[in-house]
Structure 1
Amino acid sequence: MKVDQKGHTVIIKDTQGDFKSFLDKVTQQFKTFEKQNIIIDLTSDSNLSENDLKLFLPLSKQQKKAKKSFVIVVLDFDFNAVSDKLTVVPSLLEAHDIIEMEEIERDLGF
């Protein structure tokens, strides 16, 4: 697991290719990241299912309650199949764009 800090956003990247252990690590260390926007970078893992991504729902809900963004980056995925409660995008650039838009919406009181 690799963690990069960029301003008000933390990018957490799976470096081992073991989704289950990555999810466990993120869940265990979540309290250290909860005051920042979070990008989960799963671009190195090509065998993810919709059910795998749904395992991030509790963390996503926690972030939304704290008025912070939670975005998952996955390559080659059916983005229409993902729950509306999760924000899933195909690139880091799009993840940063989503966070910027959500920050503006929060500043405007939406």
Structure 2
Amino acid sequence: MKIEEKTSYVLISPEEKTFLDFISIFNNEHDKLKNKHLIIKILDNFNASKENISLFLEYSNEHQNNGTSFVIISKNVNVDDFPETFNIVPTLVEAEDVIDMENIQRDLGF
């Protein structure tokens, strides 16, 4: 798992060969990252099934509760299969926009 500290968020990209290996390592590392805005990039060759992406839902909820953003980048999922509050976008630019918008909402008290 590759962890890149950016100015306003942490970008996490898998280096593992399977989704299950990636989520396992992410589970172990998340405590160190839970108070930061996270963007998770799901590789195109991973099985981005509804079941696999749903494994991140608990983390997304945790980040919302602690005032940070959690965004998944994946082109191969139907966002309508997930709760509206679960941020899934197809590009890094859109993920950065989600974090910016959520920061503005938090600043305004929403």
Using structure 2 for the length normalisation, give the TM-score. Answer: 0.92
Q: Match for residue 28 of structure 2?
A: 28
Letter in 2 for 1:15: E
Q: Equivalent residue of 1:29, what SS?
A: helix
Decide whether the 8 Å contact of 2:44 with 2:76 is kept in 1: no
1:11-56 deviation digits (Å, cap 9, x = unpaired): 1001223111111111111111112100010034342111111111
Q: Match for residue 78 of structure 1?
A: 78
2:25 and 2:43 map into 1 onto residues whose CA distance is 17
Decide whether the 8 Å contact of 2:18 with 2:46 is kept in 1: no
Gaps of 5+ in 1: none
Decide whether the 8 Å contact of 1:2 with 1:15 is kept in 2: yes
The answer to whether residue 67 in structure 2 is matched with residue 67 in structure 1 is: yes
Q: Which has the higher mean CA deviation after the structures are superposed, 41-50 or 15-24?
A: 41-50
Decide whether the 8 Å contact of 1:57 with 1:85 is kept in 2: no
CA RMSD of aligned residues (A): 1.3
Using structure 1 for the length normalisation, give the TM-score. Answer: 0.92
Letter in 2 for 1:49: S
- How many pairs does the alignment contain? 110
Percent of aligned pairs with the same residue?
A: 31
Letter in 1 for 2:108: L
Alignment CA distance shift 1:44-1:14 (3 Å): farther
2:82 and 2:39 map into 1 onto residues whose CA distance is 16
In the TM superposition, what is the alpha-carbon distance from 1:106 to its structure 2 partner? Answer: 0.3
Gaps of 5+ in 2: none
